[in-house]
């Protein structure tokens, strides 16, 4: 077959690709730019809405605090029947945003008027009668029952031939049963909330209450008209939305245009702040960019053909050299160094490739080393300890907590199920249990058929080994229930287990030949843990712990005596304990961890029997 130089093939295919793809690329890039513009505007809308919502919350919170102070003083004077209201008037007149404030006493479902403060100079300036506030109260039909429910209610009180106002309803005094006994209606100047929204821009911002009525708007006339957004897509979306912040694209019926908007809700006051921008305004730069893209694409193709020809000349030589080194590596020679054979006038991507090639060969050598280590040691912690030289070849005496765990009835399960199902069950079971052990700083020493031997305290100890072991056992109890739920849902039988825990001295270290080694623990503590696991059959329990474990964890777990068992290889009976759950760290109450698989019918075992 004829050999075609890589430079010729590269120029041919790349130029062909550029010619074929440029028109598509120009179109897609403009569409991508549109997407970026939309995403950026969505983000900006959310930021602006959040900022305005924060400002509105601050303004409302400040007004509520001031109104509560004045209202409380009014209640105090009314109860003490003081004629001197100088202190109240001083606070009221200082507040430039307050126009009037009424205090009512709550008598069941009735509201008894107590007192009122009004800035009469503002009434005179607007040529309003002294009964203006009374007329306002009748007109606005303020939901005072919502205030009794300990809510702060805000309503737009701007009516024709009146003063533009916003009314706050807030509780003032509560009795011993935490029931509202006095409330206040405070009328704020409309400009108090309108001012943050008065700045003109392409982004329209406004705020509405829980009924969809505008409180403030960039177009002040809409807010003064108390324009309702009850049928607006934003209000309908936000009304039942459990998420307080959301971005949304919609067609605004008021502007008859597609909008990109965001809203932020203020649950404390039932307000929703909106920032929205016409989509046509956002996408105008993308349309201009598309027209320019087609022109630039033609220029780029011409320049690319020339540059690609020059660039290809700098690739063929280094690539052929790299190909030669790859053949060396494929034969297992990882000692080759590309940089020592290749000279570069100016560092570029080929230089990076050469450096990466050398790093790769170093990594391959390191990988071989790690693979050898992992053939000898099982478990991540053991391997890490070995790489850090924390585990030697000599045995070490350690205080450890041993867990022996076994599946009940595994032999009969194997006899009645095909091997594939047995392996599938074991893999699923081991996956769950090993994960729990690892999360609780334990190390799986080995699998013995269906049994798991796990250890805490080797190769490193964190002074909470026994506690971690018991915690892991309880978590495995819960995890077994979840596993059994899955199995039962699939029509498979449930798994029952027995777990034995014992703390004691062990010898840890690597055992085996120079070609095959295994890190493990040996000692009487391991045998006792196995005997305790066997004893779980006698007591019908999934988990039993020894006296040594009980002494270490008794203050953290709900433990009670299960009895004593005579086990094979031990002259004295073993005192065994069942674990019912955790002890709450603050109250000391028992947090029970129990499942339908925690207890089962007791049975006999040749390695243990209940002490008489």
pLDDT tens track for 28-60: 777 787 788 888 888 898 999 999 999 999 999
pLDDT at position 601 is 80
386 and 288 share one domain: no
DSSP 307-337: HHHHHHHHHHHHHHHHHHHHHHHHTT-----
In a domain, 349, yes or no: no
Which range of residues forms the domain containing residue 554?
Answer: 380-610
> Which of 386-390, 537-541, 588-592 shows the lowest per-residue confidence on average (mean pLDDT)?
386-390
Give the integer Cα–Cα distance in Å for 523 and 149. Answer: 69
Q: Taking residues 159-180, what's their average pLDDT?
A: 90
DSSP state of 228: B
Mean pLDDT across 291-313: 75
Residue 553 and residue 404 share a domain: yes
Return the percentage of the chain with pLDDT > 70, whole number: 88
Classify burial at 515, counting beta carbons within 10 Å of its beta carbon; exposed 0-12, middle 13-18, buried 19 or more: exposed
pLDDT value for 1: 61
User: Is 499 found in the same domain as 397?
Assistant: yes
Q: What is the dihedral of CA 73, 77, 80, 82, to 10 degrees?
A: 140
Q: Are 223 and 216 in contact (CB under 8 A)?
A: yes
pLDDT value of position 588: 80
With respect to residue 112, please indicate whether it lies within any of the assigned structural domains.
yes
What pLDDT is recorded for position 341? 65
For residue range 331-378, list pLDDT tens digits in order: 767 677 766 666 665 666 667 777 777 777 777 777 666 656 554 455
Q: Are residues 389 and 281 in the same domain?
A: no
Whether pLDDT at 386 is above 60: no
Q: d(Cα 327, Cα 339) in Å, to the nearest integer?
A: 16
Q: Which of 272, 293, 314 is the last residue of a domain?
A: 293
Q: How many domains does the chain have?
A: 2
- The answer to whether residue 298 sits within a structural domain is no
Give the model's pLDDT for residue 369: 66
Q: Per-residue pLDDT for 7 more than 70? A: no
Examine the fold and report which residue of 238, 261, 293 is the final residue of a domain before the chain moves on. Answer: 293
Mean pLDDT value of segment 168-183? 90
Q: Can you give the three-state secondary structure of 382-446, one letter per residue?
A: HHHHHHCCCCCCCCEEEEEEEEEEEECCHHHHHHHCCHHHHHHHHHHHHHHHHHHHHHCCCEEEE
Q: What is the mean pLDDT of residues 99-105?
A: 93
Q: Average pLDDT for residues 70-74, to the nearest whole number?
A: 88
* pLDDT beyond 60 at 389: no
Is 15's pLDDT higher than 60? Answer: yes
Tokens of 358: 């050398």
Per-residue pLDDT, 376: 47
- Element containing residue 187 per DSSP (H, E): strand 180-189
> For residue 20, how many other CB atoms are within 10 A of its CB?
10
Shared domain check, 94 and 242: yes
Q: Are residues 73 and 222 in the same domain?
A: yes
Residues 267 and 127 in one domain: yes
379: pLDDT strictly greater than 60? no
Could you say which of 240, 260, 293 is where a domain stops?
A: 293
The CA–CA distances, whole Å, from 412 to 163, 449, 487, 530 equal 88, 14, 18, 20
Q: Mean pLDDT, the chain, as a whole number?
A: 84
0.75 exceeded by the pTM? Answer: no
The answer to whether residues 287 and 386 belong to one domain is no
Please tell me whether residues 286 and 385 are part of one structural domain: no
Instruction: Taking each helix axis as running N to C, give the angle between helix 419-439 and helix 465-489, from 0 to 180 degrees, rounded to the nearest 10.
Output: 140
Rounded CA-CA distance 245/237 in Å is: 11
| pLDDT at residue number 106 | 92
Claim to verify: residue 267 and residue 402 sit in the same structural domain:
no
Q: What is the pLDDT of residue 468?
A: 94
Of 179-193, 318-332, 448-462, 542-556, the one with minimum mean pLDDT is: 318-332
> What integer is the mean pLDDT of 579-587?
87
Q: Is residue 374 included in any domain, yes or no?
A: no
pLDDT of residue 454: 93
Query: pLDDT per residue over 184-228, tens digit each?
Result: 999 999 989 999 998 888 889 999 998 899 999 999 999 998 998
pLDDT surpassing 70 at residue 399: yes
| pLDDT greater than 60 at residue 443 | yes
215 domain-assigned: yes
Rounded to the nearest angstrom, the gap between the alpha carbon of residue 209 and the centroid of all alpha carbons in its chain is 31
Q: Taking 90 as the threshold, does the pLDDT of residue 470 lie above it?
A: yes
Question: Would 243 be classed as within a structural domain?
Answer: yes
% the chain with pLDDT above 90: 34
Look at residue 612 in the predicted model and tell me its pLDDT. 61
- Asked whether residue 417 is assigned to any structural domain, the reply reads yes
Q: Would you state the pLDDT for residue 381?
A: 58
Helices then strands (H, E): number in the chain? 16, 20
394 shares a domain with 285: no
Ramachandran angles phi, psi of 210, nearest 5°? -70, -10
Domain CATH code at residue 515: 3.30.70.1230
The per-residue pLDDT for range 526-577, each reduced to its tens digit, is 999 999 998 899 888 999 999 999 999 888 999 999 898 888 878 788 899 9
Range 275-282 average pLDDT: 85
- Please report whether residue 317 resides in a domain: no
Q: Is there a single domain that holds both residue 285 and residue 392?
A: no
pLDDT of residue 375: 47
CATH code at 76?
3.30.450.20
């Amino acid at each position: 077959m004829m050999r075609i130089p890589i430079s010729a093939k590269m120029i041919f295919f790349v130029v062909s690709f550029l010619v074929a793809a440029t028109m598509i690329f120009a179109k897609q890039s403009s569409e991508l730019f549109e997407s970026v513009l939309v995403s950026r505007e969505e983000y900006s809308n959310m930021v602006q809405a959040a900022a305005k919502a924060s400002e509105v919350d601050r303004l409302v919170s400040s007004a509520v605090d001031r109104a509560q102070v004045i209202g409380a003083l009014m209640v105090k004077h009314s109860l003490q029947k003081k004629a001197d209201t100088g202190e109240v008037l001083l606070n009221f007149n200082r507040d430039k945003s307050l126009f009037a404030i009424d205090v009512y006493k709550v008598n069941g479902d009735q509201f008894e008027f107590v007192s009122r403060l009004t800035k009469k100079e503002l009434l005179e300036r607007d040529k309003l009668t002294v009964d203006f506030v009374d007329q306002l109260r009748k007109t606005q039909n303020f939901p005072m029952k919502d205030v009794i429910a300990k809510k702060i209610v805000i309503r737009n009180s701007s009516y024709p031939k009146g003063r533009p106002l916003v009314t706050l309803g807030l509780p003032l005094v509560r009795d011993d049963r935490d029931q509202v006994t006095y409330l206040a209606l405070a009328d704020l100047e409309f400009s108090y909330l309108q001012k943050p929204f008065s700045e003109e821009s392409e982004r329209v911002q406004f705020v509405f209450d829980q009924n969809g009525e505008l409180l403030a708007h960039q177009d002040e006339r809409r807010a003064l008209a108390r324009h309702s957004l009850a049928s607006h897509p934003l209000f309908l979306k936000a009304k039942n939305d459990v998420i307080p912040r959301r971005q949304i694209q919609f067609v605004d019926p008021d502007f008859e245009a597609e909008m990109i908007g965001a809203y932020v809700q203020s649950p404390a006051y039932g307000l929703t702040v909106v920032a929205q921008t016409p989509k046509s305004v956002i996408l105008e730069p993308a349309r201009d960019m598309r027209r320019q893209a087609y022109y630039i694409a033609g220029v780029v193709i011409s320049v690319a053909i020339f540059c690609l020809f020059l660039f290809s000349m700098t690739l063929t030589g280094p690539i052929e050299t790299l190909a030669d080194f790859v053949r060396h590596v494929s034969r297992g020679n990882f000692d080759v160094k590309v940089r020592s054979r290749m000279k570069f006038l100016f560092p570029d991507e080929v230089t990076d490739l050469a450096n990466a090639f050398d790093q790769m060969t170093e990594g391959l050598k390191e990988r071989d080393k790690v693979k050898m280590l992992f053939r000898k040691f099982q478990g991540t912690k053991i391997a890490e300890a070995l790489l850090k030289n924390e585990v030697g070849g000599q045995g070490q005496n350690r205080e450890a907590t041993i867990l022996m765990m076994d599946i009940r009835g595994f032999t009969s399960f194997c006899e009645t199920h095909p091997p594939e199902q047995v392996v599938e069950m074991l893999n699923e079971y081991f996956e769950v249990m090993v994960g729990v052990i690892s999360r609780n700083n334990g190390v799986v020493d080995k699998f013995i058929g269906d049994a798991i031997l796990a250890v805490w305290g080797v190769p490193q100890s964190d002074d909470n080994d026994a506690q971690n072991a018991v915690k892991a056992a309880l978590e495995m109890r819960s995890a077994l229930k979840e596993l059994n739920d899955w199995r039962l849902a699939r029509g498979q039988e449930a798994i029952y287990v027995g777990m034995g825990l014992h703390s004691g001295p062990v010898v840890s270290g690597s055992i085996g030949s120079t070609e095959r080694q295994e890190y493990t623990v040996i000692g009487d503590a391991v045998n006792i843990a196995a005997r305790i696991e066997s004893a779980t059959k006698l007591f019908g329990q999934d988990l039993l712990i020894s006296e040594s474990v009980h002494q270490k964890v008794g203050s953290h777990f709900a433990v009670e005596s299960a009895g004593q068992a005579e086990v094979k290889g031990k002259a004295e009976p073993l005192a065994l304990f069942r674990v019912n759950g955790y002890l709450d760290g603050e109250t000391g109450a028992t947090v029970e961890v129990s499942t339908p698989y925690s207890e089962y019918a007791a049975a006999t075992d040749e390695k243990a029997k209940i002490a008489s």
